[in-house]
Chains A and B, each alone.
Chain A
Amino acid sequence: MIFKIEDVTVYFPYDNIYPEQYEYMVELKRTLDAKGHCLLEMPTGTGKTIALLSLITSYRLSRPDSPIKLVYCTRTVHEMEKTLAELKVLHDYQVLHLGTQAKILAIGLSSRKNLCVNTKVLAAENRDSVDAACRKRTASWVRALSTENPNIELCDYFENYEKAAENALLPPGVYTLEDLRAFGKNRGWCPYFLARHMVQFANVIVYSYQYLLDPKVAGIISKELQKESVVVFDEAHNIDNVCIEALSVSVRRVTLEGANRNLNKIREEIDRSKATDAGRLRAEYNRLVEGLALRGDLSGGDQWLANPALPHDILKEAVPGNIRRAEHFVHVLRRLLQYLGVRLDTENVEKESPVSFVSSLNSQAGIEQKTLKFCYDRLQSLMLTLEITDTDEFLPIQTVCDFATLVGTYARGFSIIIEPYDERMPHIPDPILQLSCHDASLAIKPVFDRFQSVVITSGTLSPIDLYPRLLSFTPVVSRSFKMSMTRDCICPMVLTRGSDQLPVSTKFDMRSDPGVVRNYGKLLVEMVSIVPDGVVCFFVSYSYMDGIIATWNETGILKEIMQQKLVFIETQDVVETTLALDNYRRACDCGRGAVFFSVARGKVAEGIDFDRHYGRLVVMYGVPFQYTLSKILLARLEYLRDTFQIKEGDFLTFDALRQAAQCVGRVIRSKADYGMMIFADKRYSRHDKRSKLPGWILSHLRDAHLNLSTDMAIHIAREFLRKMAQPYDKTGTMGRKTLLTQEDLEKMAETGVQDMAY
């Protein structure tokens, strides 16, 4: 359908549109008009992605003189593929109606592991080794060598791509990763380098968060993006954590040992190249004297170093004299490693600010702050000069240099925490030195500054006013949309008491109470006997889950559950969990029914959907607070309180509730779907906790469902499941229109959007 939103003609590839999609587009359009940033919360399953894509591409079409570029960031490769598939439908529709002028170039960009077509390179098992295998075949010096020595293996795809040079272009169209690979194979061009090259020409780019947020990667991939870009972060409820992780480094014993080995190797390399080709090292030295900014023309095309998170003036400064020489640099690193080793040998937990860390480093190891700042770049430059291709083996030293650079650069928003052992296992010494970032705004600041509009959107962004404070930006629009539904297809319940009327909670003083454990068990036993197919349970932590399952096993509760359904458990092992999930799905498919035990904040809670029959019920046992004794968390809370005036309690509840919402939100992925959510903890009935849940859950949480005991919950569940099994009318009845046609929209445009159905 084609309709107008103010002055923009929107091309929407379906015949009907949900009212919330329409509103979403209106708000988005205003953001684009204002050239500002926005926060939009809309439940999953309402077609967020297509609304976004269709508005932004239509906006582009309506403003041919100032074309905007869309940068769409997703969390996983799977989401990337889904987004591109939707874009394809949209693009076909627009081309059908507008002809060739609507043609755009849209590409997905991922790591070499996902894009490579060279079978020999792909044989490597993980991402880093694929990268290294690729570099071994494509680095400029390797290719230069191969002209003399034909035995050196090169990548044909890359050679062909290089040969085509300027002509290596993608024709307009939408390319998923699969399409890119197919195109590359067909033409004989390397899809990875082609995609990277095309980034500057593409109208729509879909890639992972890291390409924008991680300073190490962002510089290479994203530096050529123009200012007139719209950046979208999809599923961005955890964006603050992603930002923080991008700037946090942890160093362990193993890292230091590995780094030492790396240094020895670098040392050998230096000696060797000194003997064979001293000129190269001298050339590098000269270049460094002139300043880092000039290193662009280092050795034709291999510019895999950059650091946009660093203030710009650093790049213009010359590298300090004491690390210009390769040997000196190695010495400095050696001293740094020694110092870190000494610090790790501590008996008690230490917490320090970067400033005092740097000053003690200066006094004890004689490395000053400016030197530290340049470590990462200097290392990269050195590795290039030494022509090291197997970069994956040099990860430890890179980590250490990354650490040094961050410590040297930022004086605020970080702290260094050294723990001699894991809090939960005090008898096993496992010293760890963590540089943890507390300020999510540091990593995302360049993005906000650089691009015209940044859209942060997700199914759960409640409370929506906290995000601007955490990321320190001012949105022009921040709104939360509800879901218009033909029937009440979600049934949230707060369970506060067991069947014996005793309160249930995972509060610290109650969690090991046998009565609570038994009540939790009884709840599940009863539920599995009345809920068909899949049931998912989320626990607050692995240790709690292990404990409660062990108790259930002893008391025979697990056996009762197994009579009705098969039981699968998430573990910290990814392969094992994948296998468990796979079997869980099979059990749901064939009608046997299954229960999946999982952990909030785990991989499953974040990325796996339990839609349709894979999840008819999700039980959230307890409130998933973070581990509050963790030193890192305490430091962050302190920082948040001092800098952003966010109270500790507020932040903890916010974080716990968004995790809970994320967990229970897994159960419903579309409007035709239905599912129940049980919040099994008495604390959920309190207003301060409950009010932080997203609006689309709250609006279905009736007062009568706020304080239930097990048997009342059972009764409600029975009724709900029967009701949902009845056939229903998809378009909605006259009172609650949930699908709008073109005429409806036209009528609405006349009467004004304000009179809409809410």
Chain B
Amino acid sequence: MSNQRKRLTGEREDEDDEDAEGIGEWERAYVDDRSWEELQEDESGLLRPIDNSAIYHAQYRRRLRMLSAAAAGTRIQKGLIRYLYIVIDFSRAAAEMDFRPSRIAVMAKHVEAFIREFFDQNPLSQIGLVSIKNGVAHTLTDLGGSPETHIKALMGKLEALGDSSLQNALELVNEHLSQVPSYGHREVLILYSALCTCDPGDIMETIQKCKKSKLRCSVIGLSAEMFICKHLCQETGGLYSVAVDEVHLKDLLLEHAPPPPAIAEFAIANLIKMGFPQRAAEGSMAICSCHKEVKIGAGYMCPRCKARVCDLPTECTICGLTLVSSPHLARSYHHLFPIAPFDEVPAFSSLNDSRRTLGKSCFGCQQSLIGTGNKPGQCVTCRKCKHYFCLDCDIYIHESLHNCPGCESIHRPKSVSLMEE
């Protein structure tokens, strides 16, 4: 059945290729939207939307298990201060249309979301952007902590040209990152849409160089698995994944937002000098040190040299002190103490289930956990407080909230004793 469907879309595509000029605007909307791909036939031949929620949840559980399995043995150290370069491949292959409207637009869209998410989760970290075009790597932005600058630079010129070169990109990034302080974690995330790399020299040497300078390289491929990318990631301890479709690409990108475990030989505890600047008084006028512009109000003052900066976190341009605010530190904290994954509970299918009194509704959103129709409802339970949650709340708690509402609402003395455990 699915074959036929694929075949249909396959044929559909060539028609598009042949007379893309000829179709009307109204038609294009459907062609671009591909709404038929979101339908599937059930046993009786009726159309119904594809139900992906179970699959997504399974994927999420696997991710969670992987994380917690790594954390189970010993408490792992995580690099909270990351210096990440995002390399985006804008070579010829990025113009392909298999992601709609084109790979390049999809990449830009999701990188934008990723940058925001990244700074949300890693307030102390910095990002830089590099693009590959015509076989040459260009720096779009230098390392910095402001999402807006990066996004502006990224959206500026979206065009796909020429060959791609992995080696050039790595060399450039390696050069940039060689200057960052030793406590920072060097990472590069490459979005690679081409299937080959035209390099000026021996890429193996470059990979070894990256390995030596403890640069963690991760690659997200857009079309198929390439040996050299796999090799690069294996050597440098990064992740290699290939996106199946747009949603998957987004997931893969966001997987890189939480900080990775620190490389073992690199995991020495370090003390870092930081400044907590005060917000400048409303209405006060000053020239900010980052844009060299006169600004009224809004801004922070470096506690050491009293220079004015616009955004936090950043590095003071005058004295080089790292400037953060205390919520930034707090936000980074949860990566070190994640909530344990919830246990899966067999579905409540019948009303006379012995445990139905315990939790027939989700503790988070208060919705009923008893399955509707013939589909059994699935739910999970917290190991500590034994409250039940629905799948949506499970994901929300682990990925956004980072607190279990059940455990938090237990009486104070008990929770203290729990924490002492």
Contacts and interface: CB of A to CB of B under 8 A. Distances in A.
Interface of A: 499, 529-533, 564-565, 588-593, 612-613, 616, 702, 704, 711-712, 715-716, 718-719, 721-727
B408 interface: no
Instruction: List the 9 closest A-B pairs by CB distance, nearest first.
Output: A591-B228, A725-B242, A613-B227, A721-B224, A725-B225, A715-B10, A593-B196, A704-B3, A591-B197
A591 B229 contact: yes
A711 B13 contact: yes
A102 to B, nearest CB: 38
B10 A532 contact: no
Contacts of B204: 589-590
Contacts of A712: 7, 10-11
Contacts of A719: 6
Interface string B262-274: 0000000000000
6 contacts: A530-B223, A565-B196, A590-B202, A592-B198, A715-B6, A715-B13
Contact of B6 (A564, A612, A716, A721): A716
Given A533-B226, A590-B228, A722-B244, 20 more contacts: A529-B93, A530-B223, A530-B224, A532-B196, A564-B196, A589-B204, A590-B197, A590-B202, A591-B229, A616-B224, A711-B10, A715-B13, A716-B6, A718-B223, A721-B223, A721-B225, A722-B224, A724-B225, A725-B224, A725-B241
A589 B228 contact: yes
A6 to B, nearest CB: 41
B13 A532 contact: no
A718 B98 contact: yes
Contacts of B242: 722, 725-726
A612 B195 contact: no
A704 B10 CA distance: 13
Contacts of A721: 223-225
A723 B198 CA distance: 26
Q: B196, B199, B229: which has the most chain A beta carbons within 10 Å?
A: B196
A593 B195 contact: yes
Nearest to B199: A590
B166 interface: yes
Given A612-B227, A711-B14, A532 B195 contact: yes
Contacts of A716: 6, 10
Contacts of A531: 195, 224
B326 interface: no
Contact of B224 (A532, A612, A727): A532
Q: A531, A590, A727: which has the most chain B beta carbons within 10 Å?
A: A590
B197 A722 contact: no
B129 to A, nearest CB: 22
B195 A564 contact: yes
Q: B166, B195, B229: which has the most chain A beta carbons within 10 Å?
A: B195
Interface residues of B, number: 32
B107 interface: no
A725 B204 CA distance: 22
Contacts of A499: 14
Given A702-B3, A718-B98, A722-B242, A592 B227 contact: no
Interface string B159-184: 00000001000000000000000000
Chain A contact surface mostly:
helix
A591 B203 contact: yes
Interface in B214-231: 221, 223-229
A123 to B, nearest CB: 34
A565 B226 CA distance: 13
A171 B368 CA distance: 76
B89 to A, nearest CB: 12
A533 B227 contact: yes
Contacts of B197: 590-592
Nearest to A702: B3
Contacts of B74: none
Q: A591, A593, A616, A718: which has the most chain B beta carbons within 10 Å?
A: A591
B107 to A, nearest CB: 16
Contact of B223 (A565, A702, A722): A722
B4 interface: yes
Nearest to B201: A590
Contacts of B195: 529-533, 564, 593
A531 B227 CA distance: 12
Contacts of B225: 532, 721, 724-725
A351 to B, nearest CB: 52
Contacts of B196: 532, 564-565, 591-593
A725 B3 contact: no
Q: A532, A702, A724: which has the most chain B beta carbons within 10 Å?
A: A532
Contacts of B244: 722-723, 726
A591 B3 contact: no
A502 B196 CA distance: 31
Contact of B227 (A591, A711, A722, A724): A591
A590 B203 CA distance: 6
Interface in B181-208: 195-199, 202-204
B221 A704 contact: no
A711 B13 CA distance: 9
A426 B221 CA distance: 54
A593 B241 CA distance: 19
A494 B362 CA distance: 53
Contacts of A591: 166, 196-197, 199, 203, 226-229
A246 B419 CA distance: 81
A722 B223 CA distance: 6
Nearest to A616: B224
A162 B98 CA distance: 73
A283 to B, nearest CB: 67
Nearest to A709: B14
A711 B4 CA distance: 15
Nearest to B229: A591
Contacts of B199: 590-592
Interface in B56-100: 93, 98
Contacts of A529: 93, 195
Contacts of B227: 532-533, 588-589, 591, 612-613
Contacts of A722: 223-224, 242-244
Contacts of B13: 711, 715
Q: B166, B223, B243, B244: which has the most chain A beta carbons within 10 Å?
A: B223
A592 B226 CA distance: 10
A252 B274 CA distance: 89
Nearest to B163: A563
A721 B226 CA distance: 10
A589 B203 CA distance: 10
B6 A532 contact: no
A592 to B, nearest CB: 6
Nearest to B164: A591
Nearest to A723: B244
A718 B241 CA distance: 16
Contacts of A565: 196
Nearest to A722: B244
B210 to A, nearest CB: 14
A613 B11 CA distance: 29
Contacts of B166: 591
Contacts of B223: 530, 532, 718, 721-722
B343 to A, nearest CB: 20
Contacts of A592: 196-199
A532 B226 contact: yes
A532 B193 CA distance: 11
A722 B13 CA distance: 18
Nearest to B204: A590
Contacts of B226: 532-533, 591, 613
A722 B199 CA distance: 25
A733 to B, nearest CB: 12
A702 B241 CA distance: 28
A613 B226 CA distance: 8
Contacts of B202: 590
Nearest to B225: A725
Interface in B1-20: 3-4, 6-7, 9-11, 13-14
